[in-house]
Amino acid sequence: MIESLGNWIRTHYSNEINTEMDGQEVIVMGWCRELRDIGKLKFIKLADREGFLQITAKEGVASPNIFKKFENLGREDVIAVKGIIKANKEAPQGREIIPIDIKILNTAEKPLPLELETKKTPADITTRLNARVLDLRKPEITAIFKISDFLKRSFVDYFISKGFIDLNTPLIVGAAAEGGATMFKLDYFGKDAFLNQSPQLYKQMVLASGFDKALIVSHVFRAEPHDTYRHLNEILQMDIEEAFIRDEEDVLKHFDEYIKFVIENIDKKCANSLEILKFKIQDIDIPIKRLTYNETLKELGKNGIKIPWGEDLTPEAERKICEFYNPVLITKWPSKIKPFYCMKEENDPKLSKGFDLLFNGIEISSGAQREHRLDELIKNIKEKGLNPKDFKFYIDAFRYGMPPHAGWSIGLERFTMALLKLPNIRETSLFPRTTERLLP
10 carries an active-site annotation: no
230 carries an active-site annotation: yes
- pLDDT of the residue at 39: 83
- The catalytically annotated residue of 12, 95, 137, 222 is 222
49 carries an active-site annotation: no
- pLDDT of the residue at 179: 57
All residue ranges of the chain with pLDDT < 50 are: none
- The catalytically annotated residue of 96, 241, 248, 363 is 363
399 carries an active-site annotation: no
- The catalytically annotated residue of 148, 198, 273, 366 is 366
366 carries an active-site annotation: yes
Express each pLDDT in 283-320 by its tens digit: 999 999 999 999 999 999 999 999 999 999 999 999 99
- The catalytically annotated residue of 414, 426, 427, 429 is 414
- pLDDT of the residue at 181: 62
Which three-class secondary structure string do you get for the chain?
CCCCCCCCCCCCCHHHCCHHHCCCEEEEEEEEEEEEEECCEEEEEEEECCEEEEEEEEECCECHHHHHHHHHCCCCCEEEEEEEEEECCCCHHHEEEEEEEEEEEECCCCCCCCCCCCCCCCCCHHHHHHCHHHHCCCHHHHHHHHHHHHHHHHHHHHHHHCCCEECCCCCEECCCCCCHHHCCEEEECCEEEEECCCCHHHHHHHHHCCCCEEEEEEEEECCCCCCCCCCCCEEEEEEEEEECCCCCHHHHHHHHHHHHHHHHHHHHHCHHHHHHHCCCCCCCCCCCEEEEHHHHHHHHHHCCCCCCCCCCCCHHHHHHHHHHCCCEEEECCEHHHCCCCECECCCCCCEECEEEEEECCEEEEEEEEECCCHHHHHHHHHHCCCCHHHHHHHHHHHCCCCCCEEEEEEEHHHHHHHHHCCCCHHHHCCCCCECCECCC
- The catalytically annotated residue of 33, 132, 230, 370 is 230
370 carries an active-site annotation: no
Question: Which domains does the chain possess?
Answer: 14-106 (2.40.50.140), 139-428 (3.30.930.10)
140 carries an active-site annotation: no
